[in-house]
Structures are given as structure tokens and as C-alpha cells.
């Protein structure tokens, strides 16, 4: 068994460590440059079953208004026009299936809801570490990504954005979760 596999002793409930977790995205703009962004406000938790990963469950809630790309004008456009943060303040993900494909690789399929549209998404996660925190708590870390078509969720503003912003968006996760007592 790999050092990074999810052994049964790591089974339990976990909370995302939001200070050590990054929820981000990458999108092409004008088909040549990449815009990288992240969400600053989110919360998530999980139940992990190391003995039977298919029994694991993951939940994530993201505040749409917290989008950050390094340009305030673009951030406002993304949150107000693309994500409609006033009408739809959160993006949510709830797993429906967890499958272990290698010792340290998991496919997490779930329902992603953006602007009241829910579609299935599969994120491939690689377990990147586990450690004992300064208070003796058990922590795990993982990286994952998935590519979605934003049009499937109605994340579009007007006809001009179709030509300027690629519909394909890569969701990028760098996660740290802390086991709860």
C-alpha cells in the first residue's frame, strides 16, 4: 500500500482548512491568454471511509461574490454578470460517488450547482500528503481538477463573451482537510 493511500485509520469526518485550501479556476480569454482566479470564501466538509472509499462523501459551498482574479473590474463582472451573485449567492458541490482508481488517486463525481443549474462533474483527486498537525490533529491534503463547459450552467453574459472567453473552464483544487474529533 502506498504511503499516501487512504488507510482505514484515516476514516472519519473532516473540515476544510480554508487557510490552506485553494479553490480556483483557469479560463482562456481571447483564445491566447489564461485568466487564473480563485474563490476566497468557501466551506466544505467530508466523511472519508478508508476501508471503503465508495462510502465517502464530500460537500463544498462557495460564495460567488468572493471571486478574485487580481483585477477588481473583472472580479465584479464575473460575480455580477457571469455568476449572478445577487440572485445566486452560492455555488455548491455534493458528491454522489467516490471511486478509488489507484492507491492515491480518487474520482469524485457529484452534483455541481451554479445559478440553480445542477450537472454532474467528476474531479480527479490525488492524495498528496498526510500529517499530524501541531495540536495532534490528523490532516490530509489532495490536489484535483476537472474541466467544465460554463455554458452548461448558463454562465454567460452576452454574445460578445462567447467570442472572447472560452467556454471551457478548468476547476482547480488544492485541499487540506482536518479530521474532527
Sites in the chain below the pLDDT cut of 70: 1-7, 30-32, 157-164
Q: pLDDT per residue over 56-89, tens digit each?
A: 999 999 999 999 999 999 899 899 988 999 999 9
Which CATH code of 2.40.128.110, 3.40.50.1820, 2.40.50.140, 3.40.50.2300 fits the domain covering 8-179? 2.40.128.110
Q: pLDDT per residue over 117-132, tens digit each?
A: 999 999 999 999 998 8
- The whole-angstrom separation of Cα 155 and Cα 148 is 11
In sequence order, the 6+-apart residues with CB closer than 8 A to the CB of 165 are 27, 28, 29, 30
Q: How many helices (H) and strands (E) does the chain have?
A: 2, 11
Domains of the chain by residue range: 8-179
12-16 and 138-149: which strand pairing?
A: unpaired
- Among candidate residues 59, 137, 66, 44, the one with its CA nearest the CA of residue 93: 59
Does the predicted model carry a pTM greater than 0.85?
Answer: yes
Taking CA atoms, 66 is separated from 63, 75, 93, 127, 163, in Å, by 6, 8, 16, 27, 25
Taking CA atoms, 10 is separated from 115, 137, 154, 180, in Å, by 35, 11, 38, 11
How many Cβ atoms are within 10 Å of 167's Cβ, its own excluded?
15
- The whole-angstrom separation of Cα 117 and Cα 66 is 20
Amino acid at each position: 500500500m502506498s504511503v499516501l493511500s487512504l488507510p482505514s485509520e484515516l476514516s472519519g469526518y473532516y473540515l476544510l482548512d480554508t487557510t490552506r485550501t485553494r479553490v480556483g479556476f483557469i479560463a482562456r480569454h481571447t483564445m491566447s491568454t489564461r485568466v487564473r482566479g480563485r474563490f476566497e470564501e468557501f466551506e466544505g466538509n467530508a466523511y472519508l471511509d478508508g476501508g471503503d472509499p465508495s462510502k465517502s462523501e464530500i460537500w463544498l459551498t462557495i460564495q460567488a461574490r468572493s471571486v478574485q482574479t487580481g483585477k477588481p473590474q473583472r472580479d465584479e463582472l464575473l460575480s455580477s454578470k457571469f455568476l449572478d451573485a445577487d440572485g445566486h449567492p452560492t455555488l455548491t458541490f455534493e458528491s454522489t460517488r467516490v471511486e478509488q482508481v489507484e492507491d492515491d488517486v480518487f474520482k469524485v463525481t457529484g452534483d455541481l450547482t451554479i445559478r440553480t443549474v445542477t450537472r454532474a462533474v467528476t474531479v480527479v483527486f490525488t492524495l498528496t500528503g498526510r500529517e499530524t498537525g501541531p495540536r495532534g490533529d490528523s490532516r490530509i491534503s489532495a490536489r484535483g481538477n476537472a474541466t467544465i463547459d460554463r455554458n452548461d450552467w448558463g454562465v454567460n453574459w452576452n454574445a460578445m463573451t462567447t467570442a472572447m472567453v472560452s467556454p471551457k473552464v478548468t476547476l482547480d483544487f488544492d485541499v487540506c482537510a482536518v479530521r474532527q474529533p
